[in-house]
């Protein structure tokens, strides 16, 4: 996401809806940590354009959900205590969504198909 910050900032400046209020950042289990560096910087920049709350969603297989959610929650809490998200109106909310192996296969197949079409 942070690699695309200029484009995201451009898109954020076009949001005129008064009901927009929350940005959800989705992590897979391989990313199940709270990236308090580049992501926090990107969120801070985006927040200067339009205020919002942040939620971190962990999408993971059910058998990995409890451990991953616990880890993401603890790391988000530590980053919040350290002041990483002090620009937000409230600390990031952390939640999870269980995915099935079928969801992952379907998602991976879609990415492969898109790459073939784009070539």
pLDDT (0 to 100) of residue 5: 64
d(CA 42, CA 3): 9
d(CA 84, CA 2): 16
More confident: 32 or 114? 32
pTM for the complete prediction?
Answer: 0.73
pLDDT digits (tens, 9 = 90+) for 21-51: 898 988 887 765 655 577 888 888 888 888 8
97 DSSP β-pair partners: 59
d(CA 82, CA 95): 21
């Amino acid at each position: 996401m942070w690699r695309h910050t200029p484009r995201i900032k451009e898109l954020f400046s076009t949001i005129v809806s008064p009901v927009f209020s929350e940005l959800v950042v989705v992590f897979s289990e391989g990313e199940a940590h709270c990236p308090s560096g580049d992501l926090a910087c990107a969120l801070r920049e985006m927040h200067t354009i339009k205020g919002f709350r942040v939620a971190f969603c962990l999408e993971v297989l059910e058998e990995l959900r409890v451990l991953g959610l616990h880890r993401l929650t603890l790391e988000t809490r530590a980053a919040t205590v350290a002041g990483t998200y002090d620009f937000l109106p409230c600390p990031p909310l952390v939640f999870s969504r269980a995915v099935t192996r079928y969801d992952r296969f379907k998602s991976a197949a879609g990415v492969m198909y898109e790459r073939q079409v784009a070539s």
